[in-house]
Structure 1
Amino acid sequence: MKIEKSIKVANGYIMFGILIVLIAVLLVGMIVTVNPLFLILFPFILLIVKGFFIVNPNNSKVLVLFGAYKGTVRDNGFFWANPFYSKQKISLRARNFDSERVKVNDKVGNPIMINVILVWKVSDTYKAAFDVDHYEEFVRVQTDAAVRKLAGSYPYDNFDDEMAELTLRSGMDEVNEALENEITERLAMAGIQVLEARIGYLAYAPEIASSMLKRQQAVAIVAARKKIVEGAVGMVEDALSKLAADGIVEFDEDKKASMVSNLMVVLCGDKEAVPVINAGSLN
C-alpha cells in the first residue's frame, strides 16, 4: 500500500522571471522584426503559466500526472511544477466535528441521546486523497458508527446493571479514551489523525427521560433516608445510654420502646415535631 511522499518542485519566482523574459522576447520580436516565427513562443508561455501554484500555511498540494501519484508538496510558498500535473488541495489544519445527536440503545437497552465532539486533521495526504472517497464524509460516517458502538458497550447508569463499574455517565475519562481509540482505528485507513474525541451530549431519550428522572430522585431519596436513619439510630442509642448512665430515669421495656419510637419520629420526620406537654404522671 502506498503512502505519502514528498516531491521537490521548482521555485515559482525563478520560473516567473523566465516567463517575463519569454514575453519580452515575443513582444520585441513581433514589433521589431514582424516575424511570425516568434509566435512559437506563445504555447510555451501558456504552459509555463499553467505550472504556477501557491501552497498556503497548513495546506498541501497532491500532484498527479495522468493518473500516477507523483508526490505531495507541504512546503509553503510560490512554486512551479510540470503544467500537466493535476493539483489537489488538501488542508492540514486541525478541524472540529460536532456530530448530530443520535438516538441509540445503551448496553441494557435504554434509549439515549448522544453526540461526540471530534478534533482531527489529515496526516497522510495520499490515503486521504486516494484510499477513500470524500475523506470528510468518511470522518462523519465512521464517527457516527463509533459512537453507536460505544453506546452499546456501556450502560448509561448502573440502575439496571449494578455490577457495572464503568458507565457512560460516571466513567467519562475511560469512556472518552475508549471512544478516541475506536475512532482512531476506524480513521487510520483514511490517513486521519485523531487529536481529541469526547462525548459532548448525553441524556436519556425524551420518551423515558421523565421516568428515569423520577427513578434517580427516588434513589437519591432512599439514600438520604438511609443516612438519616443510621444517624437517628446512633443518636437514640447515645441518648438511652446517657440517661441510664447518669441515673436520670429508669426505663422498663415498654417505656424504652415508646421513647425510641418518639425519638425516631422526631429525628426522621419530614416536618418539625410539635411538642406535647404531659401535665400528669408518666403512667
Structure 2
Amino acid sequence: MSTTTSHTPSESEGHPEGTADPGGRPARLIQNEVTTEIPVHLLFRDDPDPVNPVKVPLKPAVVTRRQGAGEQPCARRPAPVRGRPLPEVDPELTERPARVLPGAAGVLAGVSGVTGCVATSWWAGLLPPLAVEALRLPSYAGAGFGPAQWAAYTGAGMLGAFGFGGLARGRTGRAWVLGLFGRYRGTVRRTGLLWVNPLLPRRRVDVRLRHWRSEAMPAADPDGMALRVVVLVVWRVRDTARALLGIEDHETYLRECVEAALARVPVEPAGGKRGGVTAAGDALTRLVAAETAPVGVEVFSVQPVRVEYAPEVAAAMHRRRIARLDARQRASMLSSVVDSVEDTVTRLTVRGLVELDDYERKVLVRDLTVAFCSGRGEPS
C-alpha cells in the first residue's frame, strides 16, 4: 500500500523563491512554473477502462515560449517561392470557321458584273460596232452617259470587282486568318475554289506537320558540365487564331521555349545510366508542349539528335571517358583471368593430374595469372 503526498498551495505560500521546502521538495527555479501532479496508478495503466473509456481528442501541439524563461519563438520557415504560371491567352480568341462561299458564287457575280458593264456601255452608245456585231446586239444610237447610266455602270463594276476579287484557292495544309478593323473574323481551312470577302485582310498560315532542327544550344548534363545540344522539334499550328493573334511570332516563341527547357532539363549523353537522350527527350517534350499549348502550338516531339560537350570542357571529358573505358576493360579482363585460373586449377586437382599443397597451389595460381594476363595484353 503506497501513500501519495500531495502539495497544496497553502504549504508553499510561506516559502520564498529559491529556498527548499521543509518536506524535501526542491524550490521552483522559474517564478511562473506550474507543477501538476499525476496519480501513480494512471502512469502504469496498460489497457483502457472497458466500462468508462476516456476519449481524448488529439490536437496539434502548439509550442509557445514561457514567460520569463528567456526562450525566443522559433522563426517559421518561409514558403518556397514558385514560378509564376503562364499568362492565359484571351479565352474568346479561339479558332472558328469563317463565313465563305463556294467559288461558283464569285464567278457568277463577276460574270454578272461584266455583263452589266457591257450592257450599260451599249445603252450609252459607247460600245464599238464590231463588239455589237460580235455580240449580236441590236443597233442603238444611245444618248451618252447620264445619271442612270452612271449608276448602272457603277453597280455592275462593283459587282464584278467583288465577284472576281474575292476568288481564292484553298490549299491543303494552308489556312487563312481573316480580320476586320483589328477584330478576328474566322479561319478558312477549306480547299478548292472559294469566295472570301475581299474587304477582309488575310494572313496565310501553314498548318501542316512541321519539323525544326535547331542550331547548337547550351545545356548541361546531370553533373553540371556544359553541353552543346542540337534538338529536332516536330510541331504544328493547332489553333491559328492564338498562334497568329495571341502572340507576336509563334516560331520565335517555340525556339525560346526550347532554349528555356534545355536550361532546366539535364541532358545525359548516349550510354548514360539515367536514361540517356531518351529520358531527356521525354522530359523536354512534356515541358515544351505544356508551355506552347496556350498559344495554339502543338508539340509532338523534342528529341536531342546531337549532344557534345562544350569546347572548354571537351578535352577534359574526353580524357575522363577514356580513363573510364580503360578501367572498365581492366576490370572485365581481370574477372575473366580469375575465372580462367580458377577453372584450370580446379580441373587439375579434381581429375587427379597433380597433387598440390598450399605453397604449390599459390605458385601455380601466380604463374597462371601472369601467363593469362600477358597473353590477353598482347595486341591482336
TM-score by length of 2: 0.63
CA drift of 1:156 comes to 4.4
Q: Match for 1:22: what amino acid?
A: G
Q: Is the 8 A contact 2:113 2:161 kept in 1?
A: no
Task: Report the equivalent of 1:228.
Answer: 333
In 2, distance between residues paired with 1:132 and 1:22?
41
Match of 1:7 in 2: 98
Residue aligning to 1:39: 153
Deviations 1:60-96 (A, max 9, x none): 1111121221211111122223332111111111111
Aligned equivalent of 2:45: none
Q: C-alpha distance in 2, partners of 1:67/1:171?
A: 48
Distance 1:55 1:28 in 2: 33
Give the structure 1 partner of residue 231 of structure 2: 116
Q: Describe the shift of the 1:239–1:45 C-alpha distance in structure 2 as closer, same or farther (beyond 3 A).
A: closer
Which of 209, 224, 233 is equivalent to 1:94? 209
Letter in 2 for 1:39: Y
**Of residues 87, 106, 116 in structure 1, which corresponds to 2:221?**
106
Q: What is the distance in 1 between the residues matched to 2:300 and 2:269?
A: 25
What letter corresponds to residue 26 of structure 1 in structure 2? C
Matches within 5 A, 1:83-162: 83-151=198-266, 154-156=267-269
**For residues 303 and 184 of structure 2, what CA distance do their matches in structure 1 show?**
36
Deviation per CA, 1:172-221, whole angstroms, max 9, x where unpaired? 33322211111111111221112332111112223332332232222222
Contact 1:65-1:86 at 8 Å conserved across structures: yes
Q: Return 5+ residue gaps in structure 1 as ranges.
A: 160-164, 273-283
Query: Structure 1 pair 77/201, CA: closer, same or farther in 2 (3 Å)?
Result: same
Per-residue CA deviation, residues 93-130 of structure 1 (Å, 9 max, x unaligned), is 11110011123222322111101101111110111111
3-state SS, counterpart of residue 203 of structure 1: strand
Shift of 1:155: 4.7
Match of residue 63 from structure 1:
178
Q: 1:48 to 1:262 in 2, by over 3 A?
A: same
Alignment pair present for 1:180 and 2:295 = no
1:250 deviation in Å? 3.6
Higher relative contact order (CA 8 A, sep 6+): 1
What is the TM-score with the length of structure 1 in the denominator? 0.83
Specify whether residues 55 and 221 from structure 1 end up closer, same or farther in structure 2 by C-alpha distance, changes over 3 A only. same
Q: 1:91 to 1:243 in 2, by over 3 A?
A: closer
For the pair shown, which has the larger CA radius of gyration, 1 or 2?
Answer: 2
State the shift of 1:246 in Å: 4.1
How far apart, CA to CA, are the structure 2 residues paired with 1:187 and 1:126?
14
| Matched-pair contact (CA < 8 Å) for 2:179–2:185 | yes
Identity %: 24
Deviation at 1:253, TM superposition (A): 3.6
Question: How many angstroms does 1:158 deviate by?
Answer: 9.2
Paired residues for 1:203-242 under 5 Å: 203-242=308-347
With over 3 angstroms needed to count, the CA separation of the structure-2 counterparts of 1:58 and 1:157, relative to structure 1, is: closer
The RMSD of aligned alpha carbons is 2.4
Please give the per-residue CA displacement for 1:223-242, whole angstroms capped at 9, x wherever unaligned. Answer: 22222222222332333333
Identify if the C-alpha distance between structure 1 residues 271 and 99 changes in structure 2 by more than 3 Å, giving closer, same or farther. closer
Q: Deviations over 1:123-143 (max 9, x none)?
A: 101111111111122222222
Structure with higher strand content: 1
Alignment partners' CA distance in 1, 2:159 and 2:363: 111
Whether contact under 8 Å (1:108, 1:155) holds in the other structure is: no
Looking at secondary structure, tell me which structure has more helix per residue: 1
Task: State the 1:43 CA deviation.
Answer: 3.7
